[in-house]
Amino acid sequence: MTTPTAPLTQDELKTLVGQAALHYVVPGEIVGVGTGSTVNKFIDALATMKDQIKGAVSSSVASTARLKALGITVFDANDVQSLSVYIDGADEIDGQGYMVKGGGAALTREKIVAALAKQFVCIADESKLVAALGNFPLPVEVIPMAAGQIARKFEAMGGTATLRMKDGQPLVTDNGQHILDVRGLQITEPLAFESQVNQWPGVVTVGVFAHQKAHVCLLGCADGVRTIT
């Protein structure tokens, strides 16, 4: 008689995909590293092969601290011309690799490091896979003095924008800016939507990653890691 095994927890699925992402790390090179709880699992796994890589370019103060604490050299993005691979999580990903990101407020640096990389490998548990983007509140990093007018533009599109708070104050990003979280949008054309919102004065970065979409998604599922390309 076989004993039924308990389904893997979300945390275990994150560990699984964090470890699976090591297969995409090119020995001898610098790897692009994202931000978030799933990426933290990847960073922990990366530490096991730290002697085989040159180091990392990081997308946040938090990831930099974790990488350095594990003895991984962190390079400034300006000192790197290109990366073979960028590994990061997502708040939502659809079947085409389009994503919503920025739940951890690191979207601007994530997009910058992703733009350096030839390949974006998204690591996520299966709860992040969606048919269409828009359920997760869309993070938008904004210059504080423009927050009001940007919020009104989203309202005109049918969305509701709220300023992200932390400890009773507006959250301040690694870049010294604020985050609007926009609910109620249906993002049916991610490429056009990203281009449109990027042009609004005061928008630093919109959390739709369509121009920098994932080339591969390693999705942690009950029966293991599913690779979506």
**Site residues (CB under 6 A) for ligand 5RP?**
34-38, 88-91, 101-107, 110
Return the number of the residue (120 or 154) whose C-beta is nearest ligand 5RP. Answer: 120
Task: Kindly name the residue from 110, 155, 189, 194 that is annotated as catalytic.
Answer: 110
CB of 42 vs ligand 5RP, minimal distance in Å: 9
Return the number of the residue (193 or 209) whose C-beta is nearest ligand 5RP. Answer: 209
Q: What is the DSSP string of 160-203?
A: EEEE-EETTEE---TTS-EEEEEES--BS-HHHHHHHHHTSTTE
Say whether 92 is catalytic. no
Return the number of the residue (36 or 190) whose C-beta is nearest ligand 5RP. Answer: 36
CB of 218 vs ligand 5RP, minimal distance in Å: 12
CB of 205 vs ligand 5RP, minimal distance in Å: 10
Question: In 26-103, which ranges are E strands?
Answer: 30-33, 55-58, 74-75, 83-88, 92-93, 99-100
Report the distance separating Cα 157 and Cα 221, nearest Å. Answer: 35
Supply the residues annotated as catalytic: 110
